[in-house]
Amino acid sequence: MPRSFLVKKHTNFAKKPNYSELESPTVFISPYIYRAIPLPLIPQAEILSPGAYSPITVWTTNNLPLSPLPSDLSPISGYPSSLSDTSSKDHSGSESPRSDEDDSILTKLTDPHGVETEKFQCGLCSKSYSTYSGLLKHKQLHCDAQSRKSFSCKYCEKEYVSLGALKMHIRTHTLPCVCKICGKAFSRPWLLQGHIRTHTGEKPFSCPHCNRAFADRSNLRAHLQTHSDVKKYQCKNCSKTFSRMSLLHKHEESGCCVAH
DNA sequence: CTGGGGAGGGGGCCC
DNA sequence: TGGGCCCCCTCCCCA
């Protein structure tokens, strides 16, 4: 599906969204401000955290994303610590998230390596999350809304149990973050921030190896893989490594790993 | 066909 | 508890 289908063009600028709800201290996000304040306003030459250059871990489709990280390896570029830390404050010990009205389930799952991890499972749809807060967000946006509706979306039929959840949902309709240059609209300010860089040409994230620059930090991380002899994603059959999960999947689907 | 860049979305963490 | 930020993932497109 073309990306353009995911965004809405605001051609009627007489009906401006309420940007006061969106603007953070980093005012460059607002499309109505960067005319008055010359670019670049986004911090220059952002330096990646040291973790971005740490020795990589080779992932295969077996160990990828469910296994906890080895304890002697620091998380790669902020790899969600919750995957390896199930004793976080979100669900520690006696502070069980369960209550008489809470149909969520704290389950212990065992991965293919026998490592036991705790997961918070939605009692309505069985979807599991590594943290209780993640489960809460899910329930607010989806399952609880189906069972205990109170706040209705005026743009569609969805209903939510909290005003906050509804406001978050409405953003997907109103797309309040509008690019002043091309009219594309986004639901989140940081999406607009990244989009604006496509117009300004600003690329604050530079590769230390080839000096190539990128507008998006994630894309720089993907690019860094291309400089590595041993890449992050490994075929479990032929041991060939790939810089991206999608390339590994393509490789496996192309027939290398027919003998599973 | 493969590899890589551009772009956008979802989930988790933190304040 | 809500919102912002960050990271990872995915899709699309192109060389």
Helix (H) and strand (E) counts for chain A?
6, 12
A57-66, A107-116, A163-172, A239-248, range with the lowest pLDDT: A57-66
**Phi, psi at A193, each rounded to 5°:** -55, -45
Give the nucleotide with minimal C1' distance to the Cα of A218.
C7
The answer to whether the C-beta of A50 is closer than 7 A to strand C is no
Query: Residue A135: in which H helix or E strand, if any?
Result: helix A132-138
Chain segment A214-230, per-residue pLDDT in tens: 888 888 888 888 887 77
Q: How far is the CA of A88 from the C1' of C5 (A)?
A: 20
Q: Note the pLDDT of residue A160.
A: 61
Nearest residue to B11 (CA, C1')?
A: A134
**Digit-coded pLDDT (tens) for A106-161:** 555 454 455 555 566 666 666 666 667 666 666 655 555 444 445 666 666 666 65
CA A111 to chain centroid, in Å, comes to 23
**CB of A120 closer than 8 Å to CB of A138:** no
d(CA A175, CA A7): 8
Indicate if CB(A18) is under 7 A from strand C: no
User: Would the Cβ of A127 be found within 7 angstroms of any atom in strand C?
Assistant: no
- Whether the beta carbon of A221 falls within 7 A of nucleic chain C: the reply is yes
CB A3 within 7 Å, strand B: yes
Give the C-alpha separation, A36 to A54, whole Å. Answer: 40
| Nearest nucleotide to A215, CA against C1' atoms | B6
CB neighbours of A173 closer than 8 A, spacing ≥ 6?
A153, A155, A156
What is each CA distance from A219 to A52, A193, A206, in whole angstroms? 12, 15, 10
What does pTM read for this prediction?
0.49
- Nearest residue, CA→C1' of B9: A191
Q: How far is the CA of A4 from the C1' of C13 (A)?
A: 14
Q: Taking the C1' atom of C1, which residue's CA lies nearest?
A: A164
